[in-house]
Each structure stands twice: as C-alpha cells, then as structure tokens.
Amino acid sequence: MTTIYRSLLFLLTVGLLAMSAAKPTRVVFFGDSITQAGVNPGGYIDRLKKSMPADQYELIGAGIGGNKIYDLFLRMDDDVLAKQPDVVVIWVGVNDVWHKASMGTGTDPDKFIKFYDAVIKKLKAANIRVILCTPAAIGEKTDMTNQQDGDLNQYSQFIRDIAKRHDLALVDLRKAFLEYDLKNNTENKDRGVLTTDRVHLNDAGNQFVAEQMQKVLTAAK
C-alpha cells in the first residue's frame, strides 16, 4: 500500500468517525399527557432542547394524554420503534392508578408489570437504551394523604424493581417530587408547587423534571 493510499484511508476513517460523532443521540420521550405537554414552549422537553447540545441530542416527544402502560405497548411500533431512537425514556403510571377511580379502567398491578416488561423487551431487542421514570404525583400533599398516594407508591416500587431487574437507569421522580415538596410545600397544599392541578407540571415542575432527566440522560451507562 502506498503512503498516499494509506493517507487517504486514514482521512476517510477520520471522516466517517466525525460523521458518526456528528450524528446526535436520538431520544424519544414515551409517555402520557405530561409528556405530551412536555414539547410545548416551557415544557420539560422544550427546556431540555435548550439545555442540551443540539448537535449531540435529538429530543422527540411521544406522549399522548390518558395513556397507560398498555397504550404504550399498543402504539410502540408506530410511535417509537419506527423513529429508530438510541434512547427511550418511559414515563408512565399516573393513569394506570388514577383511572381506577376516575373511569374504572386502571391497570391491575400484575398486568402493569407484565406490559412494562413487554415494552422493555421489545426496546432492548432493538438495541435501544431504556430509561425508566416513576410517576411523580397525583396531589402534592406531603403527609401521604393524597387519595392515590398508597397506590402510586406501589406502582413506583414496581418500576424501581423493574429497573433493577433489567439493569436500567431510573429517574425516580416520585421520590424527587416528595423531597422537593417536603422542602418547598410547607403549607401541605395539594397543587401549585410543581403542578398546576395535582398532576400536570407548572413552570417549576417542568424545570425540575428537565433537570432530573438531564442528569440521567448525560450520565454514562
């Protein structure tokens, strides 16, 4: 091989690596109405787009209002796999619990785990890095008197166990929200600190979630 040929090969390799390095990590945020609103101006995904380098991260919202874990399962081919993401952040659980009381169509504990596992299995089979989140809140009262606190704690624990079992990164928003509210919600209000309506994020909530997410997204895994 001549020196010139070697040099060309070297340049080509460097170029390919550079191109490869230039391709940003594609992240799909897969969730419910909280994530649907996350792409709005000031939403947590919108904030992440501003705080994370655009040449390194392509952030895509895939949230639909009212979604439970099995809605994610039913639409994951079209809404997630078709986008060929590198990373998927799953944030679900509020409706699985809430719809028990508000519609009679919440998700059974064992079925929640089974469908969650099925979603992860399909993502892993496509070599996608998966990050899990616990459902943050249905009510911000800090003395465990929000109606769904017990059930949300239960489903959050399911997700922590699933993360551990599959060795996946976790954004423990349930824990983080409670700690934040214990400090900042001294009047034991049920909304208005991180949420507008006990569930959906206000400005502080979107900022807080963006920060929690960014920490885990940028951590080596």
Using CB under 8 A as the binding rule, whether residue 74 contacts a second copy is answered as yes
Residue 8 vs residues 17, 18, 22, 27: alpha-carbon distances, Å: 14, 15, 21, 34
Q: What is the smallest separation between the CB atom of 163 and a second copy, expressed in angstroms?
A: 16
Using CB under 8 A as the binding rule, whether residue 146 contacts a second copy is answered as yes
What is the C-alpha separation between 150 and 30, in angstroms, rounded?
24
Restricted to residues 8-67, the positions that interact with a second copy (CB under 8 A) are none
Q: What is the smallest separation between the CB atom of 138 and a second copy, expressed in angstroms?
A: 9
Q: Which residues contact 211 (CB under 8 A, 6 or more apart)?
A: none
Q: What is the smallest separation between the CB atom of 99 and a second copy, expressed in angstroms?
A: 8
Using CB under 8 A as the binding rule, whether residue 172 contacts a second copy is answered as no
Q: Which is nearer to a second copy, 164 or 221 (CB)?
A: 164
Q: Which is nearer to a second copy, 111 or 129 (CB)?
A: 111
Q: Which is nearer to a second copy, 56 or 105 (CB)?
A: 105
Q: Which residues contact 6 (CB under 8 A, 6 or more apart)?
A: none
Using CB under 8 A, which of the segments 9-17, 69-77, 81-89, 127-135 binds a second copy? 69-77
> Are 214 and 48 within 8 A, CB to CB?
yes
Q: Which is nearer to a second copy, 129 or 160 (CB)?
A: 160
Which one-letter amino acid corresponds to residue 13? T
What is the C-alpha separation between 13 and 15, in angstroms, rounded?
5
Q: What is the smallest separation between the CB atom of 160 and a second copy, expressed in angstroms?
A: 11
Number of other CB atoms surrounding residue 211 within 10 Å? 14
Site string for a second copy, 92-131 (x = CB under 8 A): -------xxxxxxxxxx--x--xx--x-------------
Q: What is the smallest separation between the CB atom of 148 and a second copy, expressed in angstroms?
A: 6
Q: What is the smallest separation between the CB atom of 88 and a second copy, expressed in angstroms?
A: 21
> Are 106 and 49 within 8 A, CB to CB?
no
> Are 69 and 96 within 8 A, CB to CB?
yes
Residue 176 vs residues 113, 114, 134, 142, 212: alpha-carbon distances, Å: 22, 26, 10, 12, 8
List contacts with a second copy (CB under 8 A): 70-71, 74, 99-108, 111, 114-115, 118, 139, 143-154, 157
